[in-house]
């Protein structure tokens, strides 16, 4: 394998872990995920309804995509608003590898106790275990009523609708 491919593989956020959230709203991230995510990082709500943890460079990529759309594009405004109002910046893990998930995100993602942490190549998804099981059972239709308007905003922003 080429060195550049190996280097990229060594930065990908992959794997699946099950943890529990503690009474302070903290979950433990594995050492490998912490190292690859970096400190600080960003937390946000995904179009699926789970929480996503973004390394800085991934958040910059998403923001640049939004900024490239015409300022008068209603899809840009709607999607940009959805995305930015649900982002928490300057997130860090403590010395024990714990991440505090803001209450707003815990509520929106329906996280109460059992949590599934999934690597998603360039970000981490943080799910309520029950919701992740529903997603895995039918990913194309999971949370469809919630996802449809967000996907529509994105398509309009990209000039695809």
Task: Please give the order of strands across the beta sheet that includes 114-119.
Answer: 16-20, 114-119, 124-128, 51-54, 41-45, 87-91
In the predicted model, what is the mean pLDDT of residues 24-32?
96
Domain 11-157 falls under CATH 3.40.1550.20? yes
Would the pTM of this model clear 0.85, i.e. be above it? Answer: yes
Q: Where are the domains of the chain?
A: 11-157
Indicate the helix (H) or strand (E) that contains 66: helix 56-68
State the pLDDT at residue 4.
Answer: 73
137 three-state secondary structure: helix
Cα separation, 111 vs 31, in Å, equals 22
State the pLDDT at residue 66.
Answer: 94
Q: What percent of the chain has pLDDT over 70?
A: 97
pLDDT tens, position by position, 74-128: 999 999 999 999 999 999 999 999 999 999 999 999 999 999 999 999 999 999 9
């Amino acid at each position: 394998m080429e060195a550049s491919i190996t280097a990229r593989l060594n930065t990908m956020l992959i794997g699946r872990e099950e943890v529990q959230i503690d009474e302070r709203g903290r979950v433990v991230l594995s050492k490998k995920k912490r190292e690859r995510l970096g400190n600080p990082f960003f937390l946000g709500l995904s179009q699926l309804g789970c929480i996503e943890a973004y390394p800085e460079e991934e958040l910059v990529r998403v923001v640049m995509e939004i900024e490239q759309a015409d300022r008068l594009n209603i899809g840009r405004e709607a999607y940009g608003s959805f995305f930015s109002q649900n982002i928490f910046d300057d997130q860090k893990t403590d010395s024990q590898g714990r991440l505090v998930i803001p209450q707003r995100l815990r509520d929106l993602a329906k996280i109460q106790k059992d949590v599934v942490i999934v690597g998603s190549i360039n970000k981490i998804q943080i799910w309520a275990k029950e919701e992740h099981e529903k997603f895995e059972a039918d990913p194309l239709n999971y949370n469809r009523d919630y996802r449809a308007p967000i996907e529509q905003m994105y398509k309009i922003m990209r000039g695809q609708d």
